Each structure stands twice: as C-alpha cells, then as structure tokens.
Amino acid sequence: MAINSRHLLRSLAAGVCAAALALTAACGSGGDQSNDATAGSGDITQQTVTPGTLTIATGDPAYEPWVLDDNPESGKGYEAALAYAVAEKMGFDKDHVKWTSTSFDAAIAPGAKDWDMNIQQFGITPERKKAVDFSSSYYKDTRAVIVKKDGKYANATSLADLKGAVIGATVGTQGYTYAKQDITDDVQTFNDDASTAQALDAGQVDAIVADTTVCVYMVDSGQVKDAKVLGRIAGSEDKDGMGIVLPKGSPLTKATTKAVDELTADGTIEQLQKQWLADYTTNLPELK
C-alpha cells in the first residue's frame, strides 16, 4: 500500500511538472508572438535602434548654417530644425529624439549602424546608394565664386569677367566641374577646402569655385581673409541634392522619405531654407 502511495505521489508530481512545463512553453511562445506582432505592426517608433526613441547622427563637429553652435539638440540651424520636423512627421516628439555624432565617411560606409538616420550634407549618388539608403532630397546646393576684396576680379559681375583668372577648386568636387565647364579649362586643384582657401589667401589663385554653402562659410569664418562671395553660378544646382542617410534596408527609409516629401509639399522646407539659408541662396546674386 505504501509503495502504491509513493508511486501515486510520483505520478502526480510528474503530472504537475509536465503541466508547468507546458504552461511555461505556452507563455514563452505567446511572448515571441507578441514581439513578432510588434515588429510587424507597422509602428515605426518601435523599429528604431532604441525602441521608442529616434537616434539621429550628425557631423563631429557640426557647422553652421546646418547646426548652430555645434548643438543639434537646440533645433537651430537648417539640418537641426529639419531633423526635428521629420521626426515629428514620423511620430517622435522632441523628447524622444536622441542625437549622436559620426564622421562623414563612417556614416556612408557599408555595415551596421548604431543610429537610425544621419544628416550632414550627404549628396545623393548612385555609388553611395550601394552602401546606404537615402531619403528624398531636402536641399540642392549651387556653386559660387570667392575672390579677394582688393583683388583684380573683385568687381566681376559675370562669368565672362573671370576669363583669364587663375581659378582654384578642391579636387573631385562639383566646384571643380563647374569651374572647368563655365570659366576655364585650366583649374588649379587642391586636396581639400582648407588648402584651396589658403591658396587664395596666398595669392596662388585669383578665385575659388566651391559649393555655395562652403564659400559663404569660408568668408564668414575668416578662413579666407578679406574676401567676398561674388555670387552663385547660374545653372549649377545639384541634380540629385542632399538626402538623409539611413542604414541599408532600414525599416524607416520609406517613412523618412514620406516625411521629407510632405514637408516639401506643405512649404515647411522652403520656410526653413528662408530662415536658415537665405545668405546662401536668395541674398546672393547669380553669375551668368
């Protein structure tokens, strides 16, 4: 009788354990289904690097007019303000946006990222699209010309007036392309913008052709001393423009593009450009 009782107790214990295991498995399975449902629910706020928070990267440091005082959290500067407007369209208020910084090259390199989007004047190109995703364009820069205020070409008002000038440009840039196309075949090239600016300062060249935003920054920051921006080269607007970068295959790419398109359609982007980029656009004359 005792043996039968012990046997009965063991049977009952085994049954309880089996039931417990079944319940645990069921609970585990239900949890997985819940997570899968969240991932596939279309709620993009839960598909970010940190669910519920949109992590945005920018330059290190970030420069004006894109970001004021290297402080994107302030929302001041064209790209900082635009990033918050895009985030809001996507369902993230300001308290659920986190900023980080990256180098330019690292941002467009292939591989996993620890941010959701990156905004720091990335030109949209087919080559870069092989490694990362882009939103639609939020700005199309132009090329401009810088000269010394006391230089031979200080009073030039057209591209024809620059014939005979020694032109400098950074190698591989759109500035070089337009200088060669619209001004002279003989363009002096330099490895970076700083070297190009130094060449004008030292009198090695009579003028610089570069992105308009770069030109205005060079003058305003004193990178080129006693200089001025003659104006923007007519017809030099980027074809594809600048876009927000996202990791390749990001679940946020479609929503980011939609947000940029809506901000373009409702006039917000035009308004932000007037607020932050007037010195780089409408306030500058065109050179034809």
Distance of alpha carbon 213 from alpha carbon 107, whole angstroms? 21
Topology of the domain comprising 143-233:
D-Maltodextrin-Binding Protein; domain 2 (3.40.190)
Q: How confident is the model at residue 281 (pLDDT cuts 50, 70, 90)?
A: confident
Residue 93 has pLDDT above 70, yes or no: yes
Domains 47-140+239-287 and 143-233 share a fold: yes
pLDDT per residue over 40-92, tens digit each? 457 999 999 999 999 999 998 998 899 999 999 999 999 999 999 999 999 99
CATH of domain 47-140+239-287: 3.40.190.10
The ranges assigned to domains in the chain are 47-140+239-287, 143-233
More confident residue, 134 or 280: 134
Name residue 137's beta-bridge partners: 243
Distance of alpha carbon 69 from alpha carbon 61, whole angstroms? 9
- Omega into 65 within 30° of 0, i.e. cis? yes
pLDDT of residue 78: 97
